Amino acid sequence: MPIINIHLFEGRTVDQKRKLASEVTDAVCRSLNVAPDVVRIIMSEMAGENFSIAGVLKSDQPAK
């Protein structure tokens, strides 16, 4: 049973997460030759203050 962990910054819509789950499931099924019902996806959302790049919090970096 493939278990996929995806870490995201907060702010995605439910529709975006639905699309992500569907497309990741399709890719896993094609590449591993498994049925969709065995694929598990865990999406973890985090705030920008819980992630840093080069010692600077993501929430303190300019928006891109």
Distance, first Cα to last Cα, the chain: 36
Catalytic residues: 2
Positive or negative: CA dihedral 25, 28, 29, 31: positive
For residue 12, give the nearest of 47, 58, 41 by alpha carbon.
47
